Amino acid sequence: MNLFPCTLVYVDVEAKPGPNSTNRDPLSYVSQAICLNNSLRRVGMPALTIMTNAPALVAHRLANMPAANRPAVTTLTATIELPKNTPFYAAHFKLDLMDQVAETLPADTMMLLLDADMVALLPLEPDLIERCARAGVGAFDISDQVFPAYGSERVVADLEIVAGGRLRNPRWYGGEFLLATPASLRRLVPRARASYARYLSESARLRHHGDEAFISAALNALVDEGQALIEVGAYQAVGRHWPGNNYRDLRWFRCCSFVHLPGGKTLLEKEARFDDFAPDRFWRHLRVAHLRGRVRHAVKRVARMLSVERLATLSAYALRSVKS
């Protein structure tokens, strides 16, 4: 089974930047995609294809690279419409990307949809690729991160609103990794478009916004109807890392095929300046960013503790004043 690694770079200067983006350059995701492609080349995987609504701008940004090192560029035909101030605005167009890929991929090739702010550290295991090919879909279940952070009842409620009914075993899937056959995509896309329509109409009721909401709802509904799905996170096909987060020991990520760095976009953009991806250099910079993040988390915890302590002290003073 062949793989078609692709990523979305949707350019709209009028749209609200993503919540995790600090670079206001609308083409900063191209730099991240360059780093991702360099890492794919290093582990012997197929070159990345950037699917974009602005192919001329993206090609211009890539023009100074050696031709052999460039990601491919394909025009994305965007069809969906949504308010430009929607959180994760650009990511919604992954739905159009999946629709387009479903109609163009040969039957012996699986779409490997990746976020641009990722790196490949190891090739995907052939056995895992084969399992996903037989099942039709491989997805990254991050329910264990999302449910505790926002409350399982609230997350499940959002999923079932978008799905349009009760789900047997609601799961939340990360948008950074999706492995799917063309046949499975042709089943997923219509269901995702229906979920997207409900997502838009019910937007005011939802706590969660972005592609993960309606894609997760569609995947859950398909699974309830019998669609097989391989959860790739358990195989360490992908891990999501935030600087300073101790959800996973940093060493755990070394064994992942892909690492997603939503809080490390600047690091990836700096890495893109090099002709080749060097894991030792990458890990050195990631460790520094991680330690800085740990310090920031510690300072915030201390500040919260002091705030609570100060509030308690002021409350005690006020109570004594009332009594006196």
Per-residue pLDDT tens digits for 181-201: 999 999 999 999 999 999 999
Same domain, 211 and 99: yes
Burial class (CB in 10 A: 0-12, 13-18, 19+), 70: middle
**pLDDT value for 144:** 94
Q: Are residues 304 and 192 in the same domain?
A: no
Q: Which residues constitute the domain of residue 121?
A: 2-277
- The count of other CB atoms within 10 Å of the CB of residue 299 is 10
Do 206 and 133 share a structural domain?
yes
pLDDT value for 37: 98
Contact, 18 vs 42, CB < 8 A? no
Mean pLDDT score across all residues of the chain: 91
| Mean pLDDT on 213-240 | 97
**Least confident residue range of 4-18, 91-105, 118-132, 254-268:** 4-18
- pLDDT of 122-159, one tens digit each? 999 999 999 999 999 999 999 999 999 999 999 999 99
The mean pLDDT of 310-314, rounded to a whole number, is 62
Q: How does residue 103 score in pLDDT terms, banded at 50, 70 and 90?
A: very high
Q: Is the pLDDT of residue 319 over 60?
A: no
Q: Beta-carbon neighbour count of residue 74 at 10 Å? A: 16
**Does 125 share its domain with 213?**
yes
By percentage, how much of the chain surpasses pLDDT 70?
87
pLDDT of residue 290: 72
The whole-model pTM stands at 0.89
Calpha distance 266→260 (Å, rounded): 13
What pLDDT does 243 receive? 80
Question: What CATH number has the domain bearing residue 12?
Answer: 3.90.550.10
Domain boundary among the residues 258, 277, 296 is at 277
Give the C-alpha separation, 232 to 213, whole Å: 19
Same domain assignment for residues 166 and 314: no
How many structural domains compose the chain?
2
In the predicted model, is pLDDT for residue 68 greater than 60?
yes
Residues forming a β-bridge with 4: 111
| Higher local confidence (pLDDT), 19 or 130 | 130
pLDDT over 60 (residue 15): yes
Within this chain, do residues 24 and 110 fall inside the same structural domain, yes or no? yes
Q: pLDDT confidence of 308, banded at 50, 70, 90?
A: low
Assess whether 125 and 52 both reside in one domain: yes
Q: How far apart are the first and last CA of the chain?
A: 80
Tokens of 47: 């070159």
Q: Are residues 130 and 170 in the same domain?
A: yes
Residues 167 and 236 in one domain: yes
Cα distance between residue 96 and residue 93, in whole Å: 5
Count CA atoms closer than 13 A to 317's CA, side-chain side.
6
The verdict on 177 and 323 lying in the same domain is no
Tens-place pLDDT, residues 282-299: 999 988 877 776 666 566
With a cut of 70, say whether residue 314 has pLDDT above it: no
251 plus 287 within the same structural domain: no
pLDDT over threshold 80, residue 17: no
CA distances from 178 to 28, 231, 267 (A): 22, 10, 24
Q: Are residues 163 and 22 in the same domain?
A: yes
Percent of the chain with pLDDT over 90: 77
